[in-house]
């Protein structure tokens, strides 16, 4: 994973992301100043199951997959979700500070905005408007994922 240079379009792509939708541009610029952009190659693992994530990630280009471990074969896994441009990941670790329950890896080369959790904590505590919008978006995201999981469970019955 290599660090890449500053690009003003990153601010626009962050504003279009699910997590930061509705945040004023000044808030997005604060987010931008608190993180950095990395490029990942196909197959790179960004989050490892069993490790406590220390960062929140926003996918700005490319595609990632979420892989749950197979209890019968820990080295194998099952693809549970595909992450697309604008999706965030690492949010569970942000909320509960517990080890990741899944691995997230690049399906193809991707640009990922990385926001260390301590920077994110500081940022949202300093701007209550930003905090309100981000937490609302995060809650909506988690409810959407729960509803999708419920549909899958219903189909398996």
**Which sequence spans correspond to the domains of the chain?**
2-156
Over 80: is that where the pLDDT of 148 sits? yes
For 90-131, the pLDDT digits (tens) are: 988 878 889 998 999 999 999 999 999 999 889 988 888 888
d(CA 19, CA 16): 9
> What kind of fold does domain 2-156 have according to CATH?
Jelly Rolls (2.60.120)
Q: Residue for token digits 């809650």? A: 139
Q: Helix, strand or coil for residue 13?
A: helix
Residue 64 pLDDT grade (very low, low, confident, very high; cuts 50, 70, 90)? very high
Distance, CA of 146 to chain centre: 16
What is the pairing mode between strands 103-116 and 88-89?
Answer: unpaired
- Please report, in angstroms and rounded to a whole number, the separation of the first and last CA atoms in the chain: 42
Residue 75 is predicted with a pLDDT of 63
Over 80: is that where the pLDDT of 56 sits? yes
Determine the Cα angle at 46 with ends 104 and 90, to 5°: 70
Residue of 81, 1, 4 lying closest to 41 (CA atoms):
1
The tokens for 128 are 């209550």
Q: Residue for token digits 């990942």? A: 40
User: pTM (2 decimals)?
Assistant: 0.85
The residue with greater pLDDT, 6 or 133, is: 133
d(CA 77, CA 94): 23
């Amino acid at each position: 994973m290599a660090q890449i240079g500053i690009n003003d379009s990153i601010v626009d792509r962050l504003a279009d992301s699910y997590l930061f939708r509705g945040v004023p541009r000044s808030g997005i610029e604060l987010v931008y100043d608190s993180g950095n952009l990395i490029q990942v190659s196909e197959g790179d693992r960004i989050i490892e199951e069993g490790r406590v994530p220390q960062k929140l990630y926003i996918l700005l280009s490319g595609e990632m997959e979420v892989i749950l471990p197979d209890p019968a074969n820990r080295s194998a896994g099952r693809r549970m979700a595909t992450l697309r441009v604008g999706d965030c990941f690492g949010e569970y670790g942000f909320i509960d500070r517990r080890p990741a329950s899944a691995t997230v890896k690049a399906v193809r080369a991707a640009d990922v905005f990385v926001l260390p959790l301590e920077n994110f904590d500081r940022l949202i505590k300093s701007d209550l408007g930003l905090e309100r919008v981000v937490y609302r978006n995060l809650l909506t995201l988690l409810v959407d994922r729960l509803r999708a999981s419920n549909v899958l469970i219903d189909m398996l019955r």
